[in-house]
Amino acid sequence: MISRRTMLIGGAATATGIAAPTVAGCGSSTIVAGQLASKAPWLKQMAESIVAELVGESITAGFKEAWGAWFEPTKEAVAAELTGTGYDVYSSYIFGHAVPSVTLTRLTSSTDSANHPDRLLCVRENGERVVLQAWAWKAIDAFIRSELVNRSGADLLRYRELLVKTVVPHGTAEGNVVSPLRTSAWVAYPARDGVVEVSFARVEGESKVTVKASGYPSEDSADGTERTFALV
């Protein structure tokens, strides 16, 4: 981690997952938002699931030449998000995906991680950015994993291409609204194709997150695909 001196909301949810609805050809699965597949850092796992590449080991070290246009916008976005927010650290490895053309950076706190759980910063080359709080990026990660489970070969490749176009942030977020008692929240952002809405709700001690992606096709709705997951 690189230190800059220069809510998981509803974290007490049970580990019982909700069987995700499926699109054609996808076997049913139980995915829990926030329950990672391995001990690897969560951003590395997410990057691997969508085949994002490592573009730089730190802001100070610079990016790969092919990602040069994203360097200054990402640097400025990181600096802005680490000013007066309680977050003072960003991940030492920054990833990028060429299809939605964004960099992915982890933001966290070196002194108060309990009240400042990791955030995901997504930055376009034009400077537009989306910051997803922990409950939101966990929901997106669960959505991606639920669509890729049990897939392989050309089928896996097709779904990965579809997901990066319809779920990965590609613009500026709207909302990021949390209710006064922190029992609900929502955020919306544009993907390359369509709009994504992510919501959180805590009812009777159980926390759930819902992702609705208008650009991700569904057999059941012309308005896209909606998935709900338990949150830990």
d(CA 11, CA 202): 10
Q: Please, what is the Cα angle at 186 between 132 and 31, to 5 degrees? A: 70
Sign of the dihedral through C-alpha 55, 37, 190, 174: negative
Instruction: Work out whether strand 195-203 and strand 184-190 pair parallel, antiparallel, or are unpaired.
Output: antiparallel
Phi, psi of 88 (to 5 degrees): -135, 10
Digit-coded pLDDT (tens) for 32-78: 888 876 666 899 999 999 999 999 988 888 899 999 999 999 999 99
111 — pLDDT class (breaks 50, 70, 90): confident
Of 32-46, 66-80, 108-122, 145-159, least confident by mean pLDDT is 32-46
**Listed residue (186, 207, 72, 64) closest to 127, CA to CA:** 72
d(CA 93, CA 78): 13
Query: Could you give the number of structural domains in the chain?
Result: 1
Residue 30 has a pLDDT of: 73
Q: Which amino acid is at 33?
A: A
Interval 117-145 mean pLDDT: 95
d(CA 25, CA 214): 19
Q: State which residues form the domain around 135.
A: 2-230
